[in-house]
Structure 1
Amino acid sequence: MPEPPHVLGVNCKNHHFNDPRARYCAVCGISMMQATLAPFKGPRPPLGILLVDDGQTVPLAADLLIGREPRRAPEVAERRAIPMRLTDEDGSISRRHTLVSLDGWQVRLVDLGSVNGTAVRPPGAADFERIPPHTPVKLVPGTAARIGASRTFRFESNREP
């Protein structure tokens, strides 16, 4: 697994490393508003989890390459991403389909030019909307994604959207 990058963050008074924009500590829930915060670079903690339609829970500690055969992808071979194998009965998932990219404290989803596409449904939206290939889309907690024709996951995090 790739080493977590160092990002600018702050500690709550209980010494938990957080996004400097956080109102509450992601670990203990204490308010960050009243503390005097001194930003410093530290290893980024996991930014949330993916809840997959088959019950799988995948932590987001590094970039994640999703596809039918992700282990053969250059991002995985070069240790820039962790592989997540996902298949469906229709064969609509590409070998190298989608990248969940962690950039600083943000989570982004990128369709890698797959034939059957990637779609997202933000919290409160009724329908999935296909995202353009090779265009990063920011994920906020509660966003659902559809990979290919039918497989889905939801991004969840205790961090603020």
Structure 2
Amino acid sequence: MDGRILPGPGRVVHHGDVVVVLGDRAPTDLVELLFDAASVADGDGLLDRLRQHPHGDEPSLGVLVCHGDGFTVRIGADLLYRSDHVGYRSTVSGPVDLATADPIRVAIGPADMPIGPAADHPGLREGAWLGTGAWVDTGPTVGASPQQLEGVVCGTCAAFVHPRTLRCRRCDTVLEPPRQAWTQPAVPVASLRMDDGTRHVLNGDVVVGRNPSGHERVQSGAAAPLVVTDSERSVSRSHAELLVQGWSVHLRDLGSPNGTSVRLPSSPRHEPVPTGEVIALLPGTEITMGRRAMTLLT
């Protein structure tokens, strides 16, 4: 697991598939239990031991157990749990005991914990470290640095979602007007499913190609490279660009000899994308670059 630690009093313990956040005033025997549990590889076993412990409901205790495609989460009353998914962000105050699937990033920490870490926050490593919270990245994302997004907060589950969506992406509640708009750091708004089954979560602008690292926008840091393997060399070094603009994704062909085509969900056939022209993509759009294909998902 990759992640970062929010500096402060207390302890952040990382071992295997488990991350624990513990306040600086936690009972000594609970601290000893957690350090003893460093030899326990089964995170769910640790949760069971905590539930039976007299101080298992300690307000400043938080536990994340990673299962590969999701987390089991247990936090006390003094902490919050936040998770970023494709298309929405969820924030829940403790006490919480739940399971969640397919998050991009999760975090546990104090009520005023920032949405994302700063560049100078220390990385999450195996062992016990000084800290008051932790961010954990569950899988790779591609894209330049996230932008700010304007969205609305669901009155039922507090998820941060698209300002014009009719229903909450997390709990399916109808979002009735009036809606108060908020600005937060961006959540990933889409992902790409490749024709070989791999998936890439879009966290900002990307240049797609066999070797896009030489493109000027990648070299300047304005976009990230997304490498597509192609033994037939039908995909150009820098073939096309995916542009994340607000909650939308756009596509631009970069003058590739074999071209780029798209099939929108409502269309029966693929249409070529004129070189340099920026077109808006819808969820479910099929994209073909040379002999490689991918689908935009949300």
What TM-score results when the alignment is normalised by the length of structure 2? Answer: 0.50
**Contact in 2 for aligned 1:117/1:147 (Cα 8 Å):** yes
Aligned 1:22-41 pairs, distance under 5 A: 22-32=165-175, 34=176, 36-41=178-183
Q: Tell me if 1:155 matches 2:268.
A: no
Shift of 1:27: 2.9
Shift of 1:135: 0.8
**Contact in 1 for aligned 2:239/2:254 (Cα 8 Å):** yes
Q: Distance in 2 between matches of 1:95 and 1:137?
A: 21
What SS class does the counterpart of residue 261 from structure 2 fall into? strand
Shift of 1:29: 2.6
What SS class does the counterpart of residue 25 from structure 1 fall into? coil
Consecutive unaligned residues in structure 2, runs of 5 or more: 1-142
**Contact in 2 for aligned 1:67/1:93 (Cα 8 Å):** yes
Work out which of the residue numbers 84, 87, 111 in structure 1 matches 2:253: 111
Shift of 1:15: 2.0
- Taking a change above 3 Å as real, the CA distance of residues 79 and 27 of structure 1, as seen in their structure-2 partners, is farther
Higher RCO (CA-CA < 8 Å; seq separation 6+): 1
Partner of 1:143: 285
**Contact in 2 for aligned 1:12/1:35 (Cα 8 Å):** no
What SS class does the counterpart of residue 4 from structure 1 fall into? coil
What SS class does the counterpart of residue 90 from structure 1 fall into? coil
Q: Distance in 1 between matches of 2:167 and 2:203?
A: 20
Q: Tell me if 1:5 matches 2:181.
A: no
Q: Tell me if 1:68 matches 2:210.
A: yes
**Contact in 2 for aligned 1:101/1:108 (Cα 8 Å):** yes
Structure with the greater alpha carbon radius of gyration: 2
Pick which of 138-147 and 126-135 moved more: 126-135
Q: Distance in 1 between matches of 2:213 and 2:159?
A: 34
Q: Distance in 2 between matches of 1:124 and 1:36?
A: 31
Consecutive unaligned residues in structure 1, runs of 5 or more: none
What TM-score results when the alignment is normalised by the length of structure 1? Answer: 0.89
Instruction: Please give the root-mean-square deviation of Cα atoms over the aligned residues, in Å.
Output: 1.5
Q: Distance in 1 between matches of 2:146 and 2:174?
A: 25
Q: Distance in 2 between matches of 1:99 and 1:64?
A: 6
Work out which of the residue numbers 20, 24, 30 in structure 1 matches 2:163: 20
Matched residue pairs, number? 155
Shift of 1:35: 5.5
**Contact in 2 for aligned 1:45/1:61 (Cα 8 Å):** yes
**Contact in 2 for aligned 1:121/1:144 (Cα 8 Å):** yes
Higher helix share: 2
Q: Tell me if 1:81 matches 2:223.
A: yes
Shift of 1:109: 0.8
Higher strand share: 2
Q: Distance in 2 between matches of 1:36 and 1:125?
A: 35
Q: Distance in 1 between matches of 2:172 and 2:295?
A: 23
Tell me which amino acid in the other structure corresponds to 1:63.
D
The alignment-based identity, stated in percent, is: 33
